[in-house]
Chains A and B, each alone.
Chain A
């Protein structure tokens, strides 16, 4: 199964995870794993998701998530997992 990594970076506030998860659920994207840390008030979250049944194209999802990020005041990126695996795993 091809996985997608969603990262959220920005100032912490109420409801960031909820808003991202609502978006994903509306698009039939399944969340497999979430990890997060807060460093000096900055929210760093990584989600591993299965976007294979996503109701919109990958490119649209990337754009919509970026737009959602703008609304909440954080940066949201969606990237295919391979870039991280290639770079860090031999």
Chain B
């Protein structure tokens, strides 16, 4: 039986350290909805999602109440839409009708985001992939709940630079289409290298083609818990530091495992994976940058940041894999700027630059995330930043991602407010030297060699 100390420790984490289950994400395969008739396709997609996910939100709320653990988001991921719409869609506008159907379905079942308006183009684009990518600005500006992601590279195939070039333009266009709301459309769009098939976190969630018909994936969080645990070992050596992070990650992940199993049982949908990520929110005390500060850095971005983040990411994984046999998704520490008050402070203190963030992404779980940049950057500069980040993922055999928000009409030093979980962000300066000739070459960057590792 649990003892008094354990019970109060758990409740303390929930009440005072922002421990929560960040998301229960229901992955749904839409492969059996494929139809060459666009109207039929849309109807089948709507019916399948609203049937499978009808109890998702209610079940999440029940579990939250019974165990006393907040389950912040209930979400859905679907098969990449470029595959589903390929037979029926002959224009970007045709694809937009699917985005609108997804949005309607998401609203009908009450989830806050639906991911999978996606294309996998690591080696090349089909006509459908290209049409979907071209439809992204329209799709994201005419829907609320739909998130889009494009995988443009992998360690096995290299990087599709034609897609990278196109996406630079698409990001700017999306920013332009949503300029009235500080270009928020770009916050729902992410570019990946080595995208995982089972990621439950937005905006990058999609239901991979290697997955079962429906699956429950759960993302746990808890940067505040790790930070509070580290407060108790200030000044101690690295071994103590690592042990503390591992034990805390273990405890956090076990809660996620319990929630995932329970959700899976109640919905009669198999359990997929736990994603044991430290996902910050703008709430005070829910910050990854604060953990780095507690490890011993004045601000995130100070020398030593990459090493501290590498250590943190590794210990989170080591603690988490013991807690669940099925760990997947992104798993690690997220370093978004706008969603993390400590990161925002670091940027405003000029301690953290885009270049340092890029270095940090070599050792964290994802990449350049939720970074606001001036709206007058060129498409090729955005493509160049994406190419750099994709190269890091490709060579290091890890997932990397880019979610940049060029804020139309605003420049360095100004701020954008996204609200809610997305927070606010100071606009960061970007290196303006041209990479146009590089980006415009066309073609692919070949896959890297897998020996001679230096």
Contacts and interface: CB of A to CB of B under 8 A. Distances in A.
A and B pair up:
yes
B2 interface: yes
Contacts of B11: 7, 9, 77
B349 interface: no
A77 B257 CA distance: 22
Given A44-B8, A82-B258, A87-B6, A58 B1 contact: no
B67 A83 contact: yes
Interface in B4-48: 4, 6-11
B127 interface: no
B255 A7 contact: no
A89 B255 CA distance: 12
B276 to A, nearest CB: 14
Contacts of A86: 254-255, 257-258
B68 interface: yes
A59 B254 CA distance: 23
Interface string B44-81: 00000000000000000010011111000000000000
A46 B6 CA distance: 10
A48 B1 contact: yes
A78 B10 CA distance: 13
Contact of B4 (A46, A59, A78, A79): A46
B312 to A, nearest CB: 21
A4 B69 CA distance: 14
Interface in A1-20: 3, 5, 7, 9
Interface in B235-293: 251, 254-255, 257-258
B255 A83 contact: yes
Contacts, number: 66
Contacts of B3: 35
A35 B68 CA distance: 20
A70 interface: no
A59 B4 CA distance: 23
B1 A44 contact: no
A35 to B, nearest CB: 5
A62 B65 contact: yes
Nearest to B6: A88
A80 B259 CA distance: 12
A48 B4 CA distance: 10
A71 interface: no
Interface residues of B, number: 21
A77 B12 CA distance: 12
Interface string A21-39: 0000000000001011100
Contact of A79 (B1, B9, B66, B257): B66
B4 A5 contact: no
B332 to A, nearest CB: 21
Contacts of A78: 68
Interface string A44-62: 1010100000000011001
Contacts of B251: 87-88
A87 to B, nearest CB: 5
A88 B6 CA distance: 7
Contacts of A81: 1-2
A88 B10 CA distance: 9
Given A7-B11, A88-B6, A88-B10, A82 B62 contact: no
Residue of B7, B11, B67 most packed against chain A (CB within 10 A): B7
Contact of B8 (A46, A48, A80, A82): A46
Contacts of A36: 4
A33 B258 contact: no
Residue of B3, B65, B251 most packed against chain A (CB within 10 A): B65
B2 A58 contact: no
Contact of A35 (B4, B10, B62, B66): B4
Contact of B10 (A3, A37, A62, A83): A83
Interface in B144-196: none
Interface in B388-444: none
A9 B9 CA distance: 13
Contacts of A83: 10, 67-69, 255, 258
Nearest to B2: A84
Residue of A78, A85, A87 most packed against chain B (CB within 10 A): A87
Interface of A: 3, 5, 7, 9, 33, 35-37, 44, 46, 48, 58-59, 62, 77-89
Interface of B: 1-4, 6-11, 62, 65-69, 251, 254-255, 257-258
Nearest 10 A/B pairs, CB to CB: A84-B2, A79-B68, A86-B258, A83-B67, A88-B6, A86-B254, A87-B251, A35-B4, A46-B4, A87-B254
Given A62-B65, A81-B1, 5 more contacts: A81-B2, A85-B2, A86-B254, A87-B254, A88-B10
